[in-house]
Amino acid sequence: MARPTTSFTCNACGAHHSKWSGRCEACGDWNTITEDTPLSAGPGAKSIGAKRGTPLHLTDLATEEAPPPRTLSGMPELDRVLGGGLVPASAILVGGDPGIGKSTLLLQAAARFAASGLKTLYVTGEEASAQVRMRAQRLGLGDAPVQLAAATALRDILTTMETEKPQLVIIDSIQTMWADTVDSAPGSVAQVRAAAHELTSFAKRKGVSVILVGHVTKEGQIAGPRVVEHMVDTVLYFEGERGHQFRILRSVKNRFGPADEIGVFEMTGSGLSEVANPSALFLSGRGEPSPGSVVFAGIEGTRPVLVEMQALVAPSPHAQARRAVVGWDSARLAMVLAVLEARCGIPFAGLDVYLNVAGGLKISEPAADLAVATALLSAREDAALPAETVIFGEISLSGALRPVGQTENRLKEAQKLGFTAAIAPIGGKPGAATGMTLNQFGDLAGLVGDIFGAG
């Protein structure tokens, strides 16, 4: 029998190497390359013979029985992100920064699912059972019918799952699990990949829903090989700033629902509480109209969200002007500044520019271009916009304004919160939102000339 080829993998980025070296050429990190031991070389491995496979019978999809119903947790924000509830035999990966509240969220979710009749098993590899019980009592969940286990050996966990037959299993965290068939340390790429594969296969084979908690790297990505994200059905990121009480549960992959959906939570002394109307919460601290402050009507998944965009423009004391961004793409800010100077004749040379999305929310859609440009102009000209106005639209490199999708939903959300006017590109479909004054522009120069009298 031929000896399996030895390969090496970087624990930080998952890059493969033919030989060991002290520094990974892909990511530049030191002492992160470890040897991958194939499963055939691990302890207790068996030789697999060349048996013929069993033929599979094709069936007509139209004659298949209806899919099993989803299970609602009773937490509408969590159910929204999951696509309408928990799907049986699904694998879910939840990642987030340390201390952001992943374990608190999943312990509350486990209690809710168990209360709804789902047999739930919570496996912790980072805490003792007594510590989890203390946290449950602090959250008021001491009487929740959740089975608790503290273990890291994957074989013991799978045996327990086989015996107890739970319907939902929460693994906290996947980096602490180790398989005795893999000869490497817990948390390594090989261990994480093997543990995730075994748990995901068990979920599909037995019809059990599995939720895996994953650590994140300093770049904000889930630690371990990217193949783990491809194994699971749903990938969720739990985001938030330490200085803010808001937490965002964001779906970046979902085979059973819309991706880019968000759920909003607020961290309190008694755990995480849901925020039914995040727009009102993000705008709650907004006072009188001030220069550089505008309200952006955005869409996160299927939900319209109104958030305040804050800009500050000040003379720079240094030869190199500073550009600081929080909650938005810095490259997109550089593009908007270039369009303002090239197409509208408004320079920002020698001026420091600061941009912030209030509330700790991260905006990624291009529809925020127009709101950012308006906030920058408002701050530069020291002219405040009316408080009851919302703004959205995409800016092209030619200075033209492009319409964005779901204009009607954006306007309805703004109207519900008391806004009476909107600034948007020409071509949007306002639909039934006729109670608002809609100011539409074809290019950025026209908006600058009409609102700020320049350009």
pLDDT tens for each residue of the chain, 455 residues long: 444 567 787 877 778 888 888 888 888 888 878 777 554 444 444 433 444 555 655 555 555 555 668 899 989 999 999 999 999 999 999 998 888 899 999 999 999 999 999 999 999 998 999 999 999 999 999 899 999 999 999 999 999 999 999 999 999 989 999 998 888 888 888 889 899 999 999 999 999 999 999 988 766 677 666 788 889 999 999 988 766 778 889 999 999 988 888 899 988 888 899 988 888 878 876 777 899 999 999 998 888 999 999 999 999 998 899 999 999 999 999 999 999 999 999 999 999 999 999 888 889 899 999 999 999 999 999 999 988 999 999 999 999 999 998 898 899 999 988 899 999 999 877 766 567 889 999 999 999 988 887 54
* Separation of alpha carbons 54 and 39, rounded Å: 23
**Do 76-276 and 281-452 share a fold?**
no
**CATH assignment, 76-276:** 3.40.50.300
Q: Which residues are annotated as a binding site for ATP?
A: 96-103
Q: Which residues are annotated as a binding site?
A: 96-103
User: Which of 10-19's residues contact partners 24+ apart within 8 Å by CB, and which partners?
Assistant: 10/189, 11/187, 11/188, 11/189, 11/223, 11/224, 12/217, 12/223, 14/189, 14/224, 14/225, 14/226, 14/227
Reply yes or no on domain 281-452 having CATH 3.40.190.10.
Answer: no
Map out the domains of the chain as residue ranges.
Answer: 1-33, 76-276, 281-452
* Separation of alpha carbons 245 and 240, rounded Å: 8
CA 254, 257, 260, 266 dihedral sign is negative
Q: Is 99 exposed, middle or buried (0-12, 13-18, 19+ CB in 10 A)?
A: exposed
